[in-house]
C-alpha cells in the first residue's frame, strides 16, 4: 500500500515564487513521471476530497513517480494571485515541476490537469521535450476568467440564432422542460438581449468593459495542433451534463474538431455520465481515478529504470 | 523490489525575505503520518499557535487564510504549527477512520511537534468551523492558553442538517437523477455507513462522534477567547450565545467580533483574499494575547 512513507515534500522556484509540491515515489519505478495539475479557484494540490492524493498513490503503485504541487499563490506556495483566466495559464509552475523531474533523472513525463489545470498543461506542453502523454479533464475551450457566469459566456459568443436552433432539437426541448435547464436557457437569452441593448446604446465593450472573448480559443486550437503534430497520446474527459462539454461539442464542429480527427486514435475523447467538472460526487471521482490510471498505463506503459536520483530535492 | 527513499520527509524553506523559516513534511508513526508545516520566526520566539483546520470542503475554503496567518504570525515572533488530520489532506489514513476523537489526537500530536521544535509547551489554539470543536478540546491540554475560533460549529446537529440541505441544492444544480431529501441522506448514512456530501464521504463514525459534541465541552476556563463570526449565518446565533455564555461562566475573557466578509464555505469561492480582514484582526488579537500570556507567566 502506498502512503506517506512513499512521499516527500519538495520546493522549486518558478518565476520568482517558491512552489511547494509532494512527490510520491513508487516501490517499483519504471522511469515515467506524472505531474498533476489542479484546477483554479485556489484549490491546493490535494484537489477535492484528496482526489490527487489518491491518484498519486494509485499511479505510484503502478510504477509512476508522481508530483502534485500548489500553484503560486495557492496552498503552501508563495505568491499572490487575484484570480484565474484560462488564457493566462501558470506555465512557469509546470515547467518548474518538469525541470525538477529532469534533475531527478526522470525525463519522460505525463501531464494530467483538470479545468484550469488542463489549459495550463496544454499551454506548457510545447516546453516539455519529454512529454509522453497528456490528460485534459473538463478543459474549457474558450478563454474566460474564473467566476464568469456561464450564461454571460454563452451569450457573448453572439450565436443566438444557432442557440435557438439548437433549442428546437427534440432532446434539448425535452430538457428545457426541466426546471434547471429552463432557467438556464432563459438566463442565456436574457443576458444575450442585455448585451445587444448595451452595445446598441454604445455603452462600451460587453460584460463590463472586459475584452470580448473569442468563441473558441485560438491558443487552445494551436496548442492542441502542436500536441497532435508531436504524436502525443491525449485523453480528453468531460461529463455529459456539464456546460464545458456543450462548448467542446460545439467547438468540434470547427478547426478543433478537424485537429482532433486528424489525430485519429491518438486523441481519445471520453464522456462520462453527469458532471465531471470539479469532481462533485464520489462516484465521478472513482470513475476518473479508474479511467486515468487505466489510460496512462495503456498509453505510457513505462520501462525499467532506477529510482529518483538523490540530490534532486535541491533548488536550481 | 525494496523501496528506496532517498529524500527526507521534511523540507526547510526560508520565506518572507528571511523572516520566516518553514519546515514542511510528514511526522508521526509509519502508516499514521501527519502532514504538517511548522512556521518559525527567524529571531526570538514569543509564543506558539496550533491551527486546527476544518474538514471537507471547508478545509479548502480556509486553507490559504491559515497559511497567510501562520506566516504573518511567524514574521512577528509566534511559532505556528499547521497540520492535516489523518484521513484528510496529504496525511495518511482514510476518511472512514476520522472522528472528532482522532482529530483531537492529531491536534495534540501537532502541539507536541511544535513543542519538540520550539520548546513552546503552552501554545494558543485556533479552530476553523469543525476545527473549533477540536481546538477547544485540544486547548484544554494547555490550560489557560488563548483560543480563537473562526465561525465555529456551535451546534453540530444544525450544521449536519445544513450540509444535507446544501447537498440537496447541489444535486439540483448538477442535475443528479433521483435527488435525495435530508431524511434520505441520513437514512443512507445509517444504512451504508457513509453518504456523499458535496463530493466528500460523510462517515458514520465522524457523524456519531460529533453530533452531540458541545463547543464548550473542552474549555478549561480563565482563557482569553476570540470568537470570529463571518457574515450573518441565520440561526447560528443561539448556539454561539450558549457557547459564549458557557465560556464566560467558566471564567474566560470572551471577545466576539463580526466581520462582513464571509466565504461560501461549502463551494469553491472565486474571490481572492476574502479573509484579509479576518487574518489581520486575528493576528493583532493573537499578538496581544500572546504578549499578555507571557507577561502573566512572568509575573507568576
Tell me: the pLDDT tens digits for A56-70? 999 999 999 999 999
CB neighbour class for B202 (10 Å; exposed up to 12, middle 13-18, buried from 19): buried
- Residue pairs spanning A and B at CB distance below 8 A: 137
Give the distance from residue A47's alpha carbon to the nearest chain B alpha carbon, in angstroms.
9
Domain ranges of chain B: 10-153+218-299, 155-214
The topology under which CATH files domain B10-153+218-299 is Rossmann fold (3.40.50)
Band the pLDDT of A205: cuts 50, 70, 90. very low
- The pLDDT of residue A314 is 41
pLDDT value at A91 more than 60: yes
Which residues in chain B have their CB less than 8 angstroms from residue A48's CB? 57, 60, 199-200
Place of cell 486515468: A292
Q: Chain B window 240-269: which residues touch A at a Cβ cutoff of 8 Å? A: 268-269
- The pLDDT of residue A315 is 38
pLDDT value at B15 more than 60: yes
pLDDT value at B233 more than 80: no
Say yes or no for a CB contact (<8 Å) between A76 and B67.
yes
Tell me which of A106-115, A116-125, B246-255 is least confident: B246-255
- The pLDDT of residue B231 is 84
Angle at A250 between CA A245 and CA A252, to 5 degrees: 95
The answer to whether A282 and B201 are in contact (CB under 8 A) is yes
pLDDT value at A107 more than 90: yes
Interface check B196 vs A, CB under 8 A: yes
Grid cell of B252 as nine digits: 474566560
pLDDT value at B5 more than 60: no
Residue of A nearest to B177 (CA): A274
Most confident of A178-182, B172-176, B276-280: B276-280
| Alpha-carbon gap, residue B198 to B221, rounded angstroms | 37
Say yes or no for a CB contact (<8 Å) between A25 and B7.
yes
Interface check B36 vs A, CB under 8 A: no
**Percentage of chain A modeled with pLDDT above 70:** 74
Say yes or no for a CB contact (<8 Å) between A274 and B175.
yes
| Alpha-carbon gap, residue B90 to B88, rounded angstroms | 6
* Mean pLDDT in residue range B272-291: 91
- The pLDDT of residue A170 is 57
Segment B94-126, tens digit of pLDDT:
999 999 999 999 999 999 999 999 999 999 999
Q: What is the pTM of this model?
A: 0.88
| Alpha-carbon gap, residue B164 to B184, rounded angstroms | 9
Which residues in chain B have their CB less than 8 angstroms from residue A310's CB? 6-7
- The pLDDT of residue B212 is 95
Give the distance from residue A203's alpha carbon to the nearest chain B alpha carbon, in angstroms.
26
| Alpha-carbon gap, residue B56 to A283, rounded angstroms | 16
CB neighbour class for A268 (10 Å; exposed up to 12, middle 13-18, buried from 19): middle
pLDDT value at B4 more than 50: no
- The dihedral of CA A183, A185, A190, A194: what is its sign? positive
DSSP B49: E
Higher pLDDT, residue B289 or A146 = B289
* Mean pLDDT in residue range A174-185: 55
- The pLDDT of residue B219 is 83
Say yes or no for a CB contact (<8 Å) between A42 and B199.
no
- Its ipTM equals 0.93
Q: How far is CA B220 from the centre of its chain?
A: 18
Nearest Cβ partner for A9 among B1, B10, B175: B10
pLDDT value at B245 more than 50: yes
Angle at B199 between CA A292 and CA B233, to 5 degrees: 150
Amino acid at each position: 500500500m502506498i502512503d506517506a512513507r512513499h512521499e516527500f515534500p519538495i520546493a522549486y522556484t518558478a518565476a520568482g515564487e517558491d512552489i511547494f509540491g509532494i512527490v510520491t515515489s513508487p516501490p517499483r519505478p519504471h522511469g515515467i513521471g506524472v505531474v498533476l495539475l489542479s484546477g483554479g479557484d485556489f484549490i491546493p494540490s490535494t484537489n477535492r476530497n484528496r482526489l490527487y492524493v489518491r491518484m498519486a498513490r494509485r499511479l505510484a503503485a503502478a510504477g509512476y513517480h508522481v508530483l502534485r504541487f500548489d500553484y503560486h499563490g495557492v496552498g503552501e506556495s508563495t505568491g499572490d494571485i487575484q484570480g484565474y483566466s484560462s488564457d493566462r495559464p501558470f506555465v512557469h509552475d509546470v515547467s518548474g515541476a518538469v525541470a525538477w523531474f529532469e534533475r531527478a533523472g526522470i525525463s519522460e513525463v505525463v501531464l494530467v490537469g483538470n479545468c484550469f489545470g488542463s489549459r495550463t498543461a496544454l499551454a506548457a506542453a510545447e516546453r516539455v521535450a519529454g512529454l509522453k502523454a497528456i490528460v485534459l479533464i473538463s478543459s474549457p475551450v474558450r478563454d474566460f476568467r474564473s467566476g464568469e457566469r456561464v450564461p454571460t459566456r454563452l451569450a457573448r459568443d453572439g450565436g443566438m440564432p444557432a442557440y435557438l436552433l439548437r433549442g428546437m432539437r427534440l432532446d434539448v426541448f425535452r430538457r428545457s422542460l426541466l426546471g434547471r435547464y429552463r432557467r438556464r436557457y432563459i438566463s442565456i437569452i436574457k443576458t444575450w438581449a442585455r448585451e445587444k441593448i448595451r452595445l446598441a446604446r454604445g455603452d462600451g465593450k460587453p460584460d463590463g468593459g472586459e475584452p470580448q472573448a473569442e468563441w473558441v480559443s485560438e491558443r487552445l486550437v494551436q496548442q492542441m495542433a502542436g500536441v497532435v503534430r508531436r504524436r502525443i497520446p491525449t485523453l480528453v474527459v468531460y461529463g455529459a451534463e456539464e456546460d464545458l462539454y456543450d462548448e467542446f461539442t460545439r467547438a468540434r464542429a470547427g478547426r478543433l474538431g478537424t485537429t482532433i480527427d486528424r489525430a485519429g486514435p491518438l486523441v481519445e475523447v471520453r464522456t462520462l455520465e453527469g458532471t465531471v467538472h470539479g469532481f462533485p460526487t464520489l462516484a465521478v471521482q472513482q470513475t476518473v481515478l479508474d479511467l486515468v490510471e487505466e489510460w496512462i498505463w495503456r498509453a505510457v506503459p513505462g520501462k525499467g529504470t532506477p529510482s529518483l536520483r538523490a540530490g534532486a530535492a535541491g533548488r536550481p | 523490489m525494496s523501496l528506496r527513499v532517498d529524500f527526507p520527509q521534511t523540507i526547510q524553506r526560508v520565506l518572507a525575505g528571511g523572516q520566516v523559516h518553514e519546515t514542511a513534511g510528514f511526522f508521526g508513526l509509519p502508516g499514521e503520518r501527519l502532514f504538517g508545516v511548522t512556521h518559525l520566526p527567524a529571531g526570538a520566539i514569543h509564543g506558539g499557535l496550533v491551527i486546527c483546520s476544518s474538514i471537507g470542503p471547508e478545509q479548502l475554503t480556509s486553507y490559504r487564510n491559515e497559511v497567510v496567518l501562520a506566516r504573518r504570525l511567524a514574521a512577528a515572533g509566534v511559532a505556528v504549527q499547521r497540520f492535516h488530520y489523518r484521513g484528510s489532506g496529504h496525511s495518511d489514513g482514510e476518511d472512514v477512520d476520522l472522528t472528532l476523537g482522532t482529530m483531537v489526537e492529531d491536534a495534540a500530536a501537532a502541539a507536541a511537534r511544535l513543542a519538540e521544535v520550539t520548546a513552546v509547551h503552552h501554545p494558543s489554539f485556533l479552530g476553523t468551523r469543525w476545527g473549533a470543536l477540536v481546538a477547544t478540546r485540544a486547548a484544554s491540554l494547555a490550560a489557560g492558553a488563548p483560543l480563537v475560533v473562526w465561525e465555529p460549529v456551535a451546534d453540530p446537529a444544525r450544521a449536519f442538517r445544513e450540509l444535507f440541505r446544501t447537498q440537496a441544492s447541489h444535486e439540483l444544480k448538477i442535475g443528479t437523477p433521483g435527488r435525495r431529501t435530508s431524511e434520505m441522506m441520513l437514512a443512507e448514512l445509517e444504512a451504508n455507513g457513509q453518504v456523499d456530501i458535496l463530493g466528500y464521504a460523510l462517515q458514520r463514525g465522524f457523524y456519531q462522534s460529533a453530533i452531540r459534541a458541545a463547543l464548550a465541552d473542552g474549555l478549561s476556563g480563565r482563557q482569553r477567547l476570540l470568537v470570529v463570526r463571518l457574515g450573518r449565518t441565520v440561526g447560528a446565533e443561539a448556539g454561539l450565545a450558549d457557547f459564549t455564555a458557557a465560556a464566560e461562566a467558566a471564567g474566560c475573557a470572551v471577545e466576539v467580533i463580526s466581520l462582513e466578509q464571509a466565504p461560501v464555505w461549502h463551494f469553491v469561492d472565486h474571490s481572492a483574499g476574502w479573509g484579509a480582514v479576518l487574518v489581520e484582526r486575528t493576528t493583532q488579537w493573537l499578538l496581544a494575547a500572546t504578549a499578555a500570556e507571557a507577561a502573566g507567566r512572568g509575573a507568576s
